[in-house]
């Protein structure tokens, strides 16, 4: 990588970021520089390595019930992250606000959203605008003053703190999230309950995907019945599919282009939620600017695609990022 002087470092990104809020600026830089580390992370998961360590799982029945109780998984994971520290708790609150707002908006057709907006008095519109602006400003201050400054002044965690964090990660819901839910979502783009439902109905592809991630699925009564039927039948190809899946790790093709498009969709989602929507062309220019700053390439070589192709990739990726759907409120 070419050497850059400090004065010129990230100058093309800074030019791109002119006029944008600090929250959008920080999120954009994080997104544009995280693709390669994230690809390495996914490759680790794909290889079957346990990022949380090798620990005993709960009894099979309790473990498999987590496939059918996404409320328990969602609340277990979010509550665990809230227990890590105040900064993580605030990030989870922001994440929930973003998706709650997006999900509420999706329930209305464009004409209905316009009607709702037109029904607001000027005073109510100003009140809502001021509230939203205050929440965004609060989160911007949190990012700049708490997260960034804490990263610059981070000290070695004490042994007691490490043990506390490790204990949090070993909760059944967190283990399920790290071993099954997140890998299934990130590698396959599907939720585990949907795959299990299809597997129990005899879908070979769904069954193979799950078994490559979670060998415990074989203990599900309906999956075990499928396995036993095939063991005594003459359908050797289908039996081989199951045994191969039990022995191997996920088969998915990962590429840096795919990861960058996913991150582009995530940034698009954030910008929409904040009322500061970035177009596909703006996001593409962001990746080009960062590539220019970091490698001297005029454009990002991983994203040499047509504007239409990139825009469609962003649209698909926006639907990808709700890792665990928020449960309906009781």
The predicted-structure confidence for 25-39, as pLDDT tens digits, reads as follows 888 888 888 888 888
**Separation of alpha carbons 305 and 260, rounded Å:** 12
Give the pLDDT score at 61: 93
Cα–Cα distances (Å) from 9 to 149, 171, 249, in that order, read 20, 43, 41
Give the pLDDT score at 66: 94
**Separation of alpha carbons 289 and 292, rounded Å:** 5
Mean pLDDT of 49-65: 82
Which tokens in the block code for residue 63?
A: 């473990």
Distance between terminal CA atoms of the chain?
A: 54
- Surface-to-core class of residue 89, CB atoms within 10 Å of its CB (0-12 exposed, 13-18 middle, 19+ buried): middle
Cα–Cα distances (Å) from 318 to 36, 91, 266, 268, 311, in that order, read 20, 19, 6, 7, 11
pTM equals 0.66
Q: In the predicted model, is pLDDT for residue 207 greater than 90?
A: yes
Q: Would you say how long the chain is, in residues?
A: 330
Mean pLDDT of 193-213: 92
- What sign has the CA pseudo-torsion 272, 273, 275, 278? negative
3-state helix, strand, coil in the chain (%, to 5): 75, 0, 25
- Pick from 50, 73, 44, 39: which is nearest to 214 by CA? 50
Q: Which residues contact 307 (CB under 8 A, 6 or more apart)?
A: 280, 281, 284
Tokens 């926006």, located at residue: 318
Which tokens in the block code for residue 247?
A: 């022995």
Please answer whether residues 191 and 325 qualify as being in contact, where contact means their C-beta atoms are separated by less than 8 angstroms.
yes
> Poorest-confidence range of 6-10, 140-144, 207-211?
140-144
Please answer whether residues 260 and 35 qualify as being in contact, where contact means their C-beta atoms are separated by less than 8 angstroms.
yes
Q: In the predicted model, is pLDDT for residue 247 greater than 70?
A: yes
Average pLDDT, the chain: 78
**Separation of alpha carbons 9 and 3, rounded Å:** 9
- Pick from 189, 252, 262: which is nearest to 35 by CA? 262
User: pLDDT band at residue 312, thresholds of 50, 70 and 90?
Assistant: very high
Q: Pick the more confident residue, 267 or 23.
A: 267
Give the pLDDT score at 151: 45
Helix axes 221-232, 236-247, angle to 10 degrees: 130
Phi and psi angles of residue 154, each rounded to the nearest 5 degrees, phi first: -65, 135
């Amino acid at each position: 990588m070419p050497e850059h002087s400090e004065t010129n470092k990230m100058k093309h990104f800074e030019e791109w970021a002119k006029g944008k809020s600090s929250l959008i600026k920080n999120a954009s830089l994080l997104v544009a520089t995280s693709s390669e580390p994230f690809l390495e992370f996914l490759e680790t998961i794909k290889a079957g390595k346990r990022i949380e360590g090798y620990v005993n799982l709960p009894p099979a029945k309790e473990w498999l019930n987590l496939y059918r109780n996404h409320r328990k998984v969602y609340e277990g994971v979010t509550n665990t992250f809230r227990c890590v520290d105040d900064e993580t708790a605030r990030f989870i609150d922001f994440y929930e606000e973003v998706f709650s707002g997006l999900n509420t908006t999706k329930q209305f057709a464009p004409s209905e959203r316009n009607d709702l907006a037109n029904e607001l008095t000027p005073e109510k519109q100003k009140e809502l605008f001021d509230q939203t602006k205050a929440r965004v400003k609060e989160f911007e201050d949190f990012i700049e003053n708490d997260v960034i400054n804490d990263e610059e002044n981070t000290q070695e965690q004490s042994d007691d703190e490490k043990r506390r964090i490790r204990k949090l990660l070993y909760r059944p819901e967190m283990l399920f999230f790290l071993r099954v839910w997140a890998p299934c979502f990130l590698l396959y783009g599907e939720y585990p309950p949907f795959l299990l439902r299809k597997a129990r109905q005899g879908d070979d592809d769904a069954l193979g995907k799950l078994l490559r991630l979670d060998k415990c699925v074989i203990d599900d009564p309906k999956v075990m019945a499928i396995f036993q039927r095939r063991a005594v039948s003459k359908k050797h190809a289908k039996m081989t599919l199951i045994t191969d899946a039990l022995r191997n790790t996920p088969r998915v093709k990962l590429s840096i282009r795919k990861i960058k498009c996913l991150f582009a969709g995530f940034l698009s989602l954030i910008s929409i939620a904040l009322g500061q929507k970035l177009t596909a062309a703006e996001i593409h220019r962001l990746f080009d600017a960062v590539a220019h700053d970091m490698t001297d390439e005029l454009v990002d070589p991983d994203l040499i695609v047509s504007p239409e192709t990139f825009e469609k990739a962003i649209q698909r990726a926006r639907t990808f990022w709700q890792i665990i759907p928020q449960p309906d409120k009781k």
